[in-house]
Amino acid sequence: MKWKGWILALMAFAAICILADLAFTYGIIFRTPTSDIGRINHLYHEHGDEIPIFGSSKAHGNYSPDAMGLNAFNYGFDGISYEVTDVLLQIELAKSKTTPIIIELQHNDLAADLGDQSRCVPLMFDARIRQLLKRFHAMEWRYYLPGIRYFGYYDWYLKDYMSERMQLTHNITKGYKSELHQLPFSQARLDDYVSKRLQITSGYFPNEDQNRRLIGHITEHPERLFFLVYSPYHPSYFAHFQNGEQLKLFDEKLKALPNVVLIDWSQMHFPDEFFLDTLHLRHEAAMEFSRKMGDKIREVLRERSGEATVEKSKGK
């Protein structure tokens, strides 16, 4: 066998992989601030007075910082569970900031999900991300190999890059994504989602470990005010809701913490036209929800600052 050809081909392959890795990492992935990785990168580097909003797709699609009228940034990611939020929270809490934090709470986190792994691969330099992947048994040998680590994700990174530059499909402002060509509301489609929802079990199925970690973060950082929010669900979500009493107890436990403001708007009345499905709001509804949420947060912050002034004057 002629080995020269194989060695040359292997060297060319390795060189192209390394070059592609460098080009994608620094020329595309980290140059797309509105992509998921771009937003996580923003989280690493933001040390100002921005209010971070954490959570899953409900957070991503429901909270518009502009409509809220706050200096906030949306770090909601589709298809993730609290496990991922927990890592993002760790990154945020490691900073010397005192701004409030908004977290969209989920009732059911049993189906713990890592979400799209392509978000993690370029951030392998962070031990917390590596730990997260290991916890989900999602760590793969190829994630250590330049070029090969992005196998299967190249087009996603490229799509994010092009979407940002061309703004053909959606617009992302301060982390909030709004579709430019949202499908018109369809009652039949929503009814289909509702009938599917009625066939599955909704409810509060606590993950004690996650609850303990969340409460741990809150108590360890009394300087940060945590807004824990349940944003609106379609009424069908509560048709067969289980363990409501347990959920109330957990909510009471959270409310008892001095630096927590629990806002339960899960059953806020919104018409059918406001829902994409039984969990997520359509854009116009998200705007309305965000405006109300912004008002609520400002009101709480005003009250709190008033209380603080009274406390200070009492102290004097």
Partner 1 sequence: MRIDTALFLLFLGVIAVVQAMMPGRGRVVALLCASLIFYAVSSVSYLILLLGLCGLNYWAALSLSQNLDQRRRTWVFTGTVLVNLAVLIFFKYAADVITQGMLRWNGHAPAAEAGFAVPLGISYFTFQMLACVTDAYRQTWRIDHGFTNFVLFGLFFPQISSGPIPRAGPLLPQLVGGDLPVVEDRLEGVRLIAFGFFKKYVVANRINEYVTDVFKDQFGTGTLAALIGCCLNALQIYADFSGYVDIAIGSALFFGIRLAPNFDRPFLSTSVTEFWRRWHMTLSFWLRDYLYLPLLIRIRILGKSGVVLAIIITFAVCGIWHGLTWTFLLFGIAQGLALSAEILTKSWRTKRLKRLPENVVRWSGRFYTLGFFALSQVLFRAANVPQALWIYGRLIHLNFSGGLAQLFAARPFFFALDCVAIGSWVGVAYFHRRATSRSTPWFVFLCGLLIIFLGRLGSAHFIYAKF
Based on the shown chain and the rule CB under 8 A, indicate whether residue 165 belongs to the binding site for partner 1. Answer: no
The first and second tokens of residue 21, run together, are 């890795």
Residue nearer to partner 1 on the CB measure, 161 or 233: 161
Residue nearer to partner 1 on the CB measure, 26 or 151: 151
Stretch that binds partner 1, among 55-63, 126-134, 142-150, 210-218 (CB under 8 A): 142-150
- How big is the chain by its Cα radius of gyration, in Å? 22
Question: How far apart are CB 240 and partner 1 at their closest, in Å?
Answer: 17
Residues 275-314 that bind partner 1 (CB under 8 A): none
Stretch that binds partner 1, among 16-24, 49-57, 65-73, 101-109 (CB under 8 A): 16-24
Residue of 61, 122, 147, 294 interacting with partner 1 (CB under 8 A):
147
Instruction: Taking the CA atoms of 300, 305, 310 and 311 in sequence, report the sign of the dihedral they define.
Output: positive
Residue of 138, 151, 298, 306 interacting with partner 1 (CB under 8 A):
151
* Close Cβ partners of 199 (under 8 Å, ≥ 6 residues apart): none
- Nearest residue to 283 (alpha-carbon basis) of 95, 77, 64, 19: 64
Residue of 134, 159, 165, 212 interacting with partner 1 (CB under 8 A):
159
Stretch that binds partner 1, among 7-15, 59-67, 199-207, 273-281 (CB under 8 A): 7-15
Residue of 162, 215, 268, 300 interacting with partner 1 (CB under 8 A):
162
Side-chain-facing half-sphere of 231: CA atoms under 13 Å: 33
Stretch that binds partner 1, among 32-40, 150-158, 260-268, 288-296 (CB under 8 A): 150-158
Stretch that binds partner 1, among 6-14, 194-202, 232-240, 247-255 (CB under 8 A): 6-14
Question: How far apart are CB 153 and partner 1 at their closest, in Å?
Answer: 8
Question: How far apart are CB 169 and partner 1 at their closest, in Å?
Answer: 7
Based on the shown chain and the rule CB under 8 A, indicate whether residue 20 belongs to the binding site for partner 1. Answer: yes
The amino acid sitting at 267 is Q
Can you give the binding site for partner 1, defined by CB under 8 A?
Answer: 1-2, 5-6, 8-10, 12-13, 16-17, 20, 142, 147-148, 151-152, 154-155, 158-159, 162, 169, 181, 183
